[in-house]
Every structure is written in C-alpha cells, then in structure tokens.
C-alpha cells in the first residue's frame, strides 16, 4: 500500500501568541503506510508540504481570518508510539513581518533624555548643520564659563530605536560606514544634520526564525551634535579676559568656536 498523508483538520485556525508578540499557526500531517515501516525521510518526502523557503522569500503561505502566515522552515516530527509505520509532522507558520518578497517591516521606540554638556557661551549663533570640523569663527553669545572652565548645563536629547525583521542575516557592511555620522537630508523627523547614527546590533530570534536588527539614533536640532571649543595660547591654556565690571576679578574665554566631529552621509539605505 502506498504511503498516505492526511492533514489534521485542514488548515487550522488554531495558533499561538508568544510573549514577544509573535504569532504562529501549526499545520499537522499524519503520514502512514499499513503495509510497511516508514522512515522519517520517506514521510517528509511523501508529505511534500509545505513548499520550502528560498533565499529572501518565504515558502508556503496560509491565509486565515487573522491574516497571512508564512513558512520559514521550522518543523517538528514524532513517530506514533508503538507504530513504526506512522509519523506526525508539524509545520510552524509565522505571521511574519517579512512578506514572501523579502520586504521588511519596522518597529519603533524612542524618547527624550537629559544629558549634561559643558559650554562657554549661552545663546550662541547655532552651528551650520553642514559644517564638519571647525571654522574658528567666534560663535558670540553670553559668556558663562569661569576663567576658561566650561559650565555644565542640561541639554535635552531625543533618541530613536528602529527594529527591523528579516529572513536574511544582516551584513555589518550594510551600516558600518554610517555609524558615527549624521544625516545629509531629512530623516525620521529630523532636519539635515540633526540625526546621529549611534550604532546597530542584530541577533536571530529563534521563536519566529527571523533576524532582528536594532538601529539607534540620537537627535539634536539645536547644536547638531557640535561642541563648543575655546581658543588656547601657546601653552595650551584657554585665552581669557575680564568680563563685566570685573569687581570680583571674573574672567571668561575670549574666543569660542564650534567643532563638529561628525560627518554627514546618505541615510537612504537605513530603515
């Protein structure tokens, strides 16, 4: 007798939701042959389902009232106890954020935090978002340093994390040349030069059989991540001069300019 394959209850609507929000449904097949023992390889070959995923694309697709579920290769098997001619094959389908075409969907999270920075001037002329390095042009503003020592102040900084999901393993080369650089055009709500790509990391989520990549960004639309630097003398000391009525002998940096350590680049390949 030929090997017989039966799917239990057809394409079931039953499924599961993991703690991380991942959704799965499982298709189960019974494979048996009353006339002879069946090896696992023979059972898998006989089932012939579902179609296997290929590079960048899902395999079989199941449509349910909860949406489409895709097969990415996760399956399990068991031999029916006491029967060498019967197998139960289970195939896991994922409500994958990656469509069969290999597209990617994103998740975002963000917030605003306070960071402490040092400054020589309050209300200076803002830096040019395109400028990299320093022009030595005085930034103006009100002196707030003490004898050439910066005064600390609280500076708001917005942060954004973008998580992408993909069937393909990410390549470090996809983003390593952009880490530590700023956007050269409007990006994710940030004006030109305001968004700094802090870094990225990736790992494989085995529960959904997909690669998860996290991209981290910092936003600064006030100083564009530039730093205030004071002119120094031959010995490296900050050049200072008396300020105000100088009744208490107070001094401040004479010349302050912007230094921008972060270059700009094209972020169009980032999520």
Query: Quick one: pLDDT band at residue 193, thresholds 50, 70, 90?
Result: very high
271 belongs to a structural domain: no
**Contact criterion met (CB below 8 Å) for 200 and 172:** no
Which position has the higher pLDDT, 23 or 52? 23
**Contact criterion met (CB below 8 Å) for 162 and 232:** no
81 belongs to a structural domain: yes
Angle value at C-alpha 98, between 190 and 46, nearest 5 degrees:
170
270 belongs to a structural domain: no
Q: How far apart are CA 245 and CA 209, in angstroms?
A: 70
Predicted local distance difference test score (pLDDT) of residue 168: 79
Together in a domain, 144 and 44: no
18 belongs to a structural domain: yes
Which residue, 30, 25, 29, 31, is CA-closest to 12?
25
Together in a domain, 90 and 115: no
Query: Quick one: pLDDT band at residue 194, thresholds 50, 70, 90?
Result: very high
240 belongs to a structural domain: yes
Three-class HEC string of 150-209: CEEEEEEEEEEEEEEEECCCCCHHHCCCCCCCEECCCECCECCCCEEEEEEEEEEECCCC
When pLDDT is averaged across residues 113-125 and rounded to a whole number, the result is 88
Predicted local distance difference test score (pLDDT) of residue 134: 77
- Report the share of the chain in percent with pLDDT over 70: 73
Predicted local distance difference test score (pLDDT) of residue 104: 45
When pLDDT is averaged across residues 80-100 and rounded to a whole number, the result is 66
When pLDDT is averaged across residues 7-25 and rounded to a whole number, the result is 63
When pLDDT is averaged across residues 100-108 and rounded to a whole number, the result is 52
C-alpha distances (whole Å) from 166 to each of 8, 15, 97 are 30, 22, 8
Which position has the higher pLDDT, 174 or 177? 177
Element at 120 (helix H, strand E): none
**What pTM value is reported for the model?**
0.60
Domain count, the chain: 2
Query: Quick one: pLDDT band at residue 244, thresholds 50, 70, 90?
Result: confident
Highest mean pLDDT among 45-59, 64-78, 95-109, 170-184: 170-184
User: Does the pLDDT at position 100 exceed 50?
Assistant: no
Predicted local distance difference test score (pLDDT) of residue 18: 61
Together in a domain, 200 and 229: yes
User: Does the pLDDT at position 162 exceed 60?
Assistant: yes
101 belongs to a structural domain: no
Together in a domain, 81 and 149: no
C-alpha distances (whole Å) from 208 to each of 17, 18, 89, 162, 201 are 11, 9, 19, 18, 18
User: Does the pLDDT at position 29 exceed 70?
Assistant: yes
Query: Quick one: pLDDT band at residue 257, thresholds 50, 70, 90?
Result: very high
C-alpha distances (whole Å) from 227 to each of 152, 184, 238, 258 are 13, 19, 15, 6
Query: Quick one: pLDDT band at residue 216, thresholds 50, 70, 90?
Result: very high
Domain-terminating residue out of 94, 120, 146: 94
Together in a domain, 141 and 224: yes
Together in a domain, 125 and 237: yes
Q: What is the mean pLDDT of the chain?
A: 79
Q: How far apart are CA 235 and CA 213, in angstroms?
A: 48
Q: How far apart are CA 47 and CA 89, in angstroms?
A: 9
| Domain boundaries, position 25 | 4-94
């Amino acid at each position: 007798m030929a090997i017989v394959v039966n799917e239990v209850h057809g394409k079931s609507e039953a499924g599961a939701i993991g703690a991380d929000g991942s959704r799965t449904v499982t298709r189960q097949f019974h494979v048996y042959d009353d006339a002879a023992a069946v090896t696992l390889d023979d059972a898998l070959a006989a089932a012939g389902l579902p179609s296997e995923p290929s590079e960048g694309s899902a395999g079989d697709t199941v449509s349910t009232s909860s949406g489409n579920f895709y097969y990415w290769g996760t399956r399990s098997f068991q031999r029916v106890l006491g029967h060498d001619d019967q197998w139960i094959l289970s195939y896991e389908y994922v409500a994958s954020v990656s469509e069969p075409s290999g597209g990617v969907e994103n998740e975002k999270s963000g917030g605003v935090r306070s960071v402490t920075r040092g400054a020589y001037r309050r209300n200076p002329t803002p830096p040019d978002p395109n400028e990299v390095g320093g022009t030595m042009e005085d930034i103006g503003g009100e002196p707030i340093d003490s004898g050439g020592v910066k005064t600390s102040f609280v500076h708001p900084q917005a942060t954004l994390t973008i998580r992408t999901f993909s069937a393909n393993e990410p390549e470090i080369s996809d983003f390593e040349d952009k880490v530590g650089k700023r956007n050269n055009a409007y990006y994710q709500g940030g004006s030109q030069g305001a968004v700094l790509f802090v870094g990225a990391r990736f790992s494989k989520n085995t529960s959904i059989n997909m690669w998860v990549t996290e991209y981290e960004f910092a936003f600064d639309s006030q100083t564009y991540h530039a730093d205030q630097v004071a002119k120094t003398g031959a010995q490296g000391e900050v050049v200072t001069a008396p300020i105000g009525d100088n009744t208490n002998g107070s001094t401040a940096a004479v010349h302050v300019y912007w230094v921008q350590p972060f270059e700009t680049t094209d972020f169009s390949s980032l999520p």
